[in-house]
Amino acid sequence: MSAAAASDAASGPTASPVLFDEWPSAGGKRIGVATLNAPASLNGLSLAMAQLLDAQLAAWAGDAGVALVVLQGAGEKAFCAGGDLHGLYRGMRDYVAGGAGDIRNNSYAVDFFTTEYRLDYRIHTYPKPLLCWGHGIVMGGGIGLMAGAGRRVVSERSRLAFPEIGIGLYPDVAGSWLLPRVPGSAGLFLALTGAPLNAGDAIYAGLADVFVPEAQRAAVYARLGEQRWSGAAQADAQLLHDVLATFAQAAAPGPLQQHAALLQALPSDDLPALVAAIAALPGDDAWLQTAQKTLAAGSPGSARLGFALQQRAAQLSLADTFRLEYTVSLHCAAHGDFAEGIRALLIDKDKNPQWNPATLALASAAWVEPFFHAPWPAHEHPLAGLGHTTEHSA
C-alpha cells in the first residue's frame, strides 16, 4: 500500500482505534506505520489506543526488518487532541461511588496513566528512528506522544498547547520536564495560560524539529520508501534527518517568539507574583488577552500544581518525572478539580466549573503537598522499571 493510500484508508470506518501498516523500502527494510484512527474524537488517546500502540512499538523495536517507524493521526483536524477525558470521568465517578479511599482504588485512572506514561517513555527512548507527523491539533496526550519522537514534523495547520488548567489537571505526560526547557522561562506561562503554539513557536519551544507543508506529506513518505535503510539506528536517524531537510521550510515566528522579551521579564519563583504579572500584561494583543482570560478562568489548584511540578522536575530525569507525575495524576483523579473541570466542559457543558480551592491564596504551597504523597515505597512504584533504557532529549 502506498503512503497516500494508507493515509486515505486511515480516515475510513474501522473497528480499530489504531491502524498498523508496513511499507517496503528500496533496500528491503520495512517502515512501520501507526495511525491513530479516531478522527471523530480528534484522535483522543483512549486506553485501548495506548495499549495497542505500546504493544506494536515494542514489537517493531525487536524486529530487525523494521528500520523506521512513522506515527500519524487520521483525518485533517488533529494528530491527537488529548487523552480520554470521558473514560477518566467515568472512572472517577466509579471511584467515588465505591467509597473512594486509597488513590489506587481508581482502577481506570491507574490503568490509563500507567499505560500512557509507559508508552510516552517508550517513545522518548525508542531504539529506532521514529517520525511523528504532528498535523493539526496536538494537545495534552498528543504532546506526550509527539514530544519524545526522534523527528517531529509540524505543518501550517499545527497547533500545540498545554490546556490542562481549564480542566483542573496540569501539563502531565512529562510536561513538567519539557516546559522548564522552553527558552526564556516561558514554560510556566504556557502551563498557566494554555496559550497555543503555531509551527514556528513549537520548534522554538523545543516541541518540534522541522516545518514541512502539509501538501508535501505524501512526497515525504514516498521519499522514505526510496531510501536504503541500513538497520543501524544512528545511520538511519541521520538518513531520516537528511530526507526531511530536503522538504523543510522556514516557519514564521509566532507570538511566543514575538513576546519573548516580555515573557522572560515575568517573575518565575513566586506564583502569586507571576499570576498577577500575567494579568497585568499591557496591550491589545489577542494571543496575550486570550492567555489572560484562560488563566483567570482556570483552576487555581491546577496553577499551583503546574508551578510546583516544574520546580520539582527541573532537576529530575525523564523517568523520575514520569514517576512523580503519575502519583500527582492519581491524586488529581481522586480529589482534585479534574472531575469538576471535565464535568463543566464535556458532561454538563455549562462551562462554569466550581473550583476548589476557589482562589490562588487557598491553593497554597501547603495545600499542594498531599498531591506528592506516594502510597507505595519507591521500589513498588508502578513505573519503577522506567529508566533501564537510554533516554534522549525531546
Read off the pLDDT of each residue in 78-97 and give the average, rounded to a whole number: 96
- Considering only CA atoms, which of 88, 76, 90 is closest in space to residue 116? 88
Overall number of domains in the chain: 1
**Residue 254 belongs to some domain of the structure:** yes
Task: State the cell numbers at 69.
Answer: 517507524
- State the pLDDT at residue 260: 97
Report how far residue 170's alpha carbon sits from residue 179's, in angstroms, rounded to the nearest whole number. Answer: 12
Q: What is the pLDDT of residues 5-43, one digit of tens each?
A: 344 444 445 569 999 999 999 999 999 999 999 999 999
**Residue 386 belongs to some domain of the structure:** no
**Residue 330 belongs to some domain of the structure:** yes
Please indicate whether residue 349 or residue 393 has the higher confidence score (pLDDT): 349
Q: Among 36-50, 271-285, 380-394, where is mean pLDDT lowest?
A: 380-394
pLDDT at 254 over 60: yes
End-to-end CA distance of the chain: 31
**Residue 393 belongs to some domain of the structure:** no
Q: What is the pLDDT of residues 176-218, one digit of tens each?
A: 999 999 999 999 999 999 999 999 999 999 999 999 999 999 9
pLDDT at 394 over 60: no
Backbone angles phi and psi of 315, in degrees to 5: -110, 10
- State the pLDDT at residue 388: 64
pLDDT at 333 over 50: yes
**Residue 394 belongs to some domain of the structure:** no
- State the pLDDT at residue 15: 66
Residue 221: domain span: 3-380
**Residue 362 belongs to some domain of the structure:** yes
Return the beta strands (E) in the chain as ranges: 18-24, 30-36, 66-73, 78-80, 130-134, 137-139, 151-154, 159-161, 210-211
- State the pLDDT at residue 118: 98
- State the pLDDT at residue 390: 40
Report how far residue 58's alpha carbon sits from residue 32's, in angstroms, rounded to the nearest whole number. Answer: 12
CATH number, position 277:
3.90.226.10
**Residue 391 belongs to some domain of the structure:** no
Mean pLDDT, rounded, of the chain: 94
**Residue 385 belongs to some domain of the structure:** no
* Percent of the chain surpassing pLDDT 90: 92
In single-letter form, the type of residue at position 160 comes to: L
- State the pLDDT at residue 314: 86
Read off the pLDDT of each residue in 212-238 and give the average, rounded to a whole number: 98
Q: Strand 66-73: give its sheet, edge to edge.
A: 18-24, 30-36, 66-73, 130-134, 151-154, 210-211
